[in-house]
Amino acid sequence: MLSAIVLFAVVALADFSASALSFDAQLQYQTESRVTLWSKKEYEGESRQLGIGEYPSIDFKAESISVPQEYKVYAYSEENFGGDEYVLNDSVDKFFKISLTDGISHIRNIKSIKVGLIESAAVDITELNDAKKNRIMIDYSPRIHMAQGDPYQAVSMDWTFEHFDRVMDSDGKSRIVMKEKIDGPFDICETFYGDQESAVAYAFWVEKDNNYVDVVYFIYCSYDSGKHIWLINSMVGGHPGDWEHFTLRFLKYKENGKEYLRPVKSAFAAHTFAEIETWEELEMFDATHCTIYCAAGTHGLYPHTGTYTYMNFIVVQLKDVCSEGEAWDLWLPGKLETFELVPEESCRALAGSKWAGVFGYDVENPESSAVLYWGNEASYPPFMNSGPQGPQFKTEMTSKSSFK
């Protein structure tokens, strides 16, 4: 049976000093957003808004809570910050739910709360241009540790279009397909192995509502190996072509006539969910470059080494394993190309990349370079999923608010 756990993925019992926070209400000028308690699940019903500060008594029965990304919240089941403590890095749409990834999760009624503003060093963006955006994206780019022993490596767009062809699929949409052919679920071809040495990551500057800027770092691997399912003795879920991404959310604000930008939250994408961490919770290589880990085979991105269960069925658990393999420093020359994306409109290069066109939206035009699906169509057998949609179609890129 599903194991019972106490907290959501965005909730953790933690040391209060784990993140740099301020409860000083005088800093409220940096954001117009507020934490909101809702009387019904999924952010419905009556509401109560809370700004930066400590609230020893909350006379409001909440069933969900909205937590903007510049905040971190400590909620308590008793007044005066007593009882069970819940640390919220993100919004919670239901205080009680059951899921395949988290089991049973439950937050008791909130009786007191602390609303903290996440603190971090700011960058002056008063005179913001393409060169400054490019510099910020490089300066905050992560170190990625590929998994030890994983044969399926990341690649560049140059490598990709030497090994894949752009075609129009059966639905009249553009996709790229391998030039090499495979016949069965256990077939391996040279294209699957990629080329880590020449790999390049692709970062997108995306302006969002509520004074947010998301910088989304994408890596592309030529193959996702999926998982071996013992019940059917077959690999399932694999597919040629695999985009994975990591997002840094920045907060924009004005002070003394100047405009600033500073990091507040991060989202590590893996499969259908994301691990959320505040800027100060990240494992850091240095002052601005965090360290992240790429899971073996599936390439999901995670904040730490270890084993992550991402699907929990009654008789089968699907797990990702992250280890400290080869380091890929995206800030080094030739390892990162930068773009600005206007969701559902356009993508343009910030520093001369020739690949902006493949991240465009004209995916039904045979003469365009835009790509919708990055990999072969699904086939059974072999048990191969369809290649994923490109970065420009991910929810994190198209939504004006979501970053996970």
Write phi, then psi, for 17 (nearest 5 degrees).
-90, 5
Alpha-carbon distance 271 to 227, whole Å?
Answer: 12
Report which residue type is found at 330: L
The band of 16, judged by pLDDT with boundaries at 50, 70 and 90, is very low
Helix (H/G/I), strand (E/B), else coil: 294: strand
Q: How far from the centroid of its chain's Cα atoms is residue 216's Cα?
A: 8
The topology under which CATH files domain 11-118 is Gamma-B Crystallin; domain 1 (2.60.20)
Categorize the per-residue pLDDT at 380 as very low, low, confident or very high, splitting at 50, 70 and 90: low
**pLDDT score at 104:** 56
Bigger pLDDT: 146 vs 3: 146
What's the pLDDT tens digit per position in 236-284? 667 788 999 999 999 999 999 999 999 999 999 888 778 899 999 999 9
Task: List all residues 6 or more positions away from 368 whose beta carbon is below 8 Å from its beta carbon.
Answer: 174, 357, 360, 362
Residues of the chain with CATH 2.60.20.10: 11-118
pTM comes to 0.88
Q: pLDDT tens digit string along 312-345?
A: 666 667 788 999 999 999 999 999 999 999 998 9
In sequence order, which residues have a C-beta less than 8 Å from that of residue 24 and are 6 or more positions away? Answer: 52, 117
* 28, two tokens: 């409220």
pLDDT at 4: 30
pLDDT, mean over the chain: 88
Torsion (CA) 288, 212, 91, 13 in degrees, nearest 10: 20
Report, as an integer, the average pLDDT of 111-119: 96
The arithmetic mean of pLDDT across residues 371-383, rounded, is 78
